């Protein structure tokens, strides 16, 4: 099969609002999928605040192009990737209007992804026009929703669910991020927001639960250093591996 005949499936990762850990989850999901032997690329569609170059240690790199197509940047984790952060100077504000933003996104998605069979797309936070247009134009095979326990309780996640339903994108399920707190001193886990609430709330709404990632300062530290926990060993890597497995199973179930 030639590269351009590969049936590529998009996994969209969304959230009702910013700051819930959607980009961190997208990066680690892509790394975990690659570690499980999948050919996977990562698109940072969060064009107003791209963070993937930092998360996967490709800051300052510039993608080459061939004809009109961009060639993804290779991250050290077996995940080719493209982000607006690769196309603008670090810290440069991106103040684009809708159509320009849509075109930029198209450039990232219609790039030379070669033999990648899966494309994880880190959507901008929220549920605006850009997100809906992108879902309609580049139909994802399925969507993953990232939520914190409080976010789900406050119904922010519900808006993201509505966005995917409106775009007729199958919901693969929900990941609960920042669930339980791991003490950096003793390693003990505590649950400031209670345990299992997000899972129960997801199930009540008929949404599959894909797994949870604890609130662990190691995740923030490693993310800032371009060292995704999913590429390592231990409980955090295991959590991301389990989520990747659940995402693949859900993807197979939607066809």
Distance CA 119, CA 186 (A): 38
The first and second tokens of residue 202, run together, are 């997801």
- In the beta sheet, which residues pair with residue 44? 83, 122
The first and second tokens of residue 37, run together, are 């032997």
Residue closer to ligand ADP by CB (options 161, 215) is 215
Residue closer to ligand ADP by CB (options 115, 227) is 227
Distance CA 72, CA 68 (A): 13
Q: Which of 6, 30, 65 has the alpha carbon at shortest distance from 144?
A: 30
Residue closer to ligand ADP by CB (options 3, 217) is 217
Q: Is 31 in contact with 230 (CB distance < 8 Å)?
A: yes
The nearest distance, CB 213 to ligand ADP, in angstroms, is: 5
DSSP letter (8 states) at residue 120 = E
Q: Which helix (H) or strand (E) holds 243?
A: helix 235-254
Q: Is 71 in contact with 94 (CB distance < 8 Å)?
A: no
The nearest distance, CB 67 to ligand ADP, in angstroms, is: 32
Query: What residue ranges bind ligand ADP (CB under 6 A)?
Result: 15, 18-24, 51, 125, 177-178, 213, 215-216, 219-220, 223
Residue closer to ligand ADP by CB (options 112, 222) is 222
Residue closer to ligand ADP by CB (options 39, 101) is 101
The nearest distance, CB 5 to ligand ADP, in angstroms, is: 33
The nearest distance, CB 23 to ligand ADP, in angstroms, is: 3
The nearest distance, CB 155 to ligand ADP, in angstroms, is: 17
């Amino acid at each position: 099969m030639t590269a351009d005949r590969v049936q590529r499936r998009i996994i969209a990762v969304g959230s009702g609002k910013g700051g819930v850990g959607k980009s961190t989850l997208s990066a680690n999901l892509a790394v975990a999928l690659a570690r499980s032997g999948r050919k996977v690329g990562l698109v940072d569609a969060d064009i107003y605040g791209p963070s993937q170059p930092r998360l996967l240690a490709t800051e300052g790199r510039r993608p080459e192009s061939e004809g009109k197509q961009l060639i993804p940047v290779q991250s050290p984790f077996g995940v080719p990737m493209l982000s607006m952060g690769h196309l603008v100077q670090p810290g440069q504000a991106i103040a684009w209007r809708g159509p320009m933003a849509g075109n930029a996104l198209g450039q990232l998605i219609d790039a030379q992804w070669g033999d990648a069979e899966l494309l994880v797309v880190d959507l901008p936070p929220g549920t605006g026009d850009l997100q809906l247009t992108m879902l309609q134009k580049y139909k994802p095979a399925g969507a993953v929703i990232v939520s914190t326990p409080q976010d789900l309780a406050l119904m922010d996640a519900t808006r993201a669910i509505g966005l995917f339903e409106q775009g007729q994108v199958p919901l693969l399920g929900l990941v609960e991020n920042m669930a339980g707190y791991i003490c950096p001193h003793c390693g003990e886990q505590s649950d400031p927001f209670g345990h299992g609430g997000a899972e129960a709330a997801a199930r009540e709404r008929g949404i599959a639960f894909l797994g949870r990632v604890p609130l662990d300062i190691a995740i923030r530290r490693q993310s800032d250093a371009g060292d995704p926990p999913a590429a390592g060993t231990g409980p955090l890597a295991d959590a991301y591996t389990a989520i990747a497995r659940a995402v693949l199973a859900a993807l197979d179930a939607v066809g």
